[in-house]
Amino acid sequence: MYVIVGATGNTGRVVAEQLLAEGREVRAWVRSEARGADLAEAGASLAVVDVEDDASVRAGFEGARAAYLMLPPPDYSKDGFLATRARIAKRLVDGAVAAGLEHVVLLSSIGAQHPEGTGVIRSLHHTEELLRASAIPATFLRPAYFVENWGSVLPAAQGDGVLPQMLGDATAPVPMVATRDIGRAAARALLEGPSAAGVIELEGPTRPSPVDIAASVASILGRPVAPIDVPFDAQVATLQSFGMSQDVASLFNEMNRGIAAGHVTFDGSGTHERGETDATTVLRALLNA
Ligand SMILES: NC(=O)c1ccc[n+]([C@@H]2O[C@H](COP(=O)([O-])OP(=O)(O)OC[C@H]3O[C@@H](n4cnc5c(N)ncnc54)[C@H](OP(=O)(O)O)[C@@H]3O)[C@@H](O)[C@H]2O)c1
């Protein structure tokens, strides 16, 4: 039986659907049964688990053979991002060890090979380290920047015809990937079991720049859309104005600087895969177009 953490999220839902389609037994972790009704209908059993609660995490892993692990995004308005994620990571790894899992696939990230200079991704480096120190065979899935991240600035494109972007040079190509392709890659990794490489780097079919993303959005909306640079020095204040804590805003700023500097990058450890979903397909879905 496969445990899927975050089974109602972008990637977890796809992992669960893919495993069910292969006839595998799936236990979907949900925060409420109502949120997982469609997964239950498709054949998954549901476990109501809060990753902040030891007992439900332990019970959620009981009897499982393998698991898809991800760290749910915490409340961005609160400080203490790295400490919160470290606490959750430890609880998940301890639970997986106690259940004697044969394999886990961790949703990690591009750049997670580095301990520092990667902002929010530092928490995934730490989680990889915890798993390496455990006895559980693990596969680290390191996807690129999610295409879905652009969803937060699409209202500005629809309203004002601008696409705010924080990745530095707007013409520089950035590895990106659709969450659908991440879910598919994770499901494949679970079905194949532990691999010698232990790392899967994943990006989409092309490397679009923010200018390319703006052009795609413009063609979907049928109106001009101009990328607008948010300079690195202005990003913390801008992100705070949208409700992020200083701590979280600073970590996103560090990640953005790391992407622009080529520090948040693939390092060639493990296999390198390409998803099949292009950015325009994702943007069209986000825009309901
Ligand atoms: N964005 C990027 O560019 C990027 C790049 C590389 C890696 N990542 C990683 O990807 C993660 C996000 O993955 P995603 O997009 O698949 O997730 P997502 O769509 O944000 O979904 C989060 C999932 O976690 C569940 N959840 C939230 N809080 C929980 C709690 N306290 N206990 C149990 N479950 C909880 C949610 O349940 P509900 O449906 O009930 O809310 C949902 O199923 C990030 O946290 C990061 O680690 C992101």
* Over residues 25-29, mean pLDDT: 98
- The C-alpha atoms of residue 280 and residue 8 are separated, in whole angstroms, by 23
Number of Cα atoms under 13 Å in the Cβ half of residue 108:
32
Give Cα separations from 281 to 4, 164, 184, 188, 276 (angstroms): 26, 20, 16, 22, 10
* pTM > 0.75: yes
Q: Which is more confident, 39 or 135?
A: 39
250: nearest Cα among 173, 128, 166: 166
* Percent of the chain predicted with pLDDT > 90: 99
> Which residues have a Cβ under 8 Å from the Cβ of 237 and sit 6 or more positions away?
249
Confidence of residue 6 (pLDDT cuts 50, 70, 90): very high
Q: Locate the ligand 1 atom nearest the alpha carbon of residue 11 and give its number.
A: 16
88: nearest Cα among 185, 1, 5: 5
- The C-alpha atoms of residue 166 and residue 162 are separated, in whole angstroms, by 13
The answer, yes or no, to whether residue 135 has pLDDT greater than 90, is: no
Q: Locate the ligand 1 atom nearest the alpha carbon of residue 31 and give its number.
A: 40
- Answer yes or no: is the C-beta of 270 below 6 A from any ligand 1 atom: no
Confidence of residue 77 (pLDDT cuts 50, 70, 90): very high
Q: pLDDT for 168-201, tens place per residue? A: 999 999 999 999 999 999 999 999 999 999 999 9
Q: Residue 237 has what pLDDT?
A: 98
Q: pLDDT for 151-172, tens place per residue? A: 999 999 999 999 999 999 999 9
- The C-alpha atoms of residue 49 and residue 69 are separated, in whole angstroms, by 13
Tell me which DSSP letter residue 215 carries: H
CATH of 2-147+176-203+265-275, one of 3.40.50.1820, 3.40.50.720, 3.90.180.10, 3.20.20.80: 3.40.50.720
CA of 7 to the centre of ligand 1 (A): 9
Q: Residue 104 has what pLDDT?
A: 98
- The C-alpha atoms of residue 75 and residue 248 are separated, in whole angstroms, by 9
- Answer yes or no: is the C-beta of 168 below 6 A from any ligand 1 atom: no
99: nearest Cα among 50, 63, 71: 63
Q: Whose CA is nearest to atom 39 of ligand 1?
A: 8
CA of 70 to the centre of ligand 1 (A): 7
Q: Whose CA is nearest to atom 17 of ligand 1?
A: 9
Q: Locate the ligand 1 atom nearest the alpha carbon of residue 148 and give its number.
A: 1
DSSP three-state, residue 23: coil
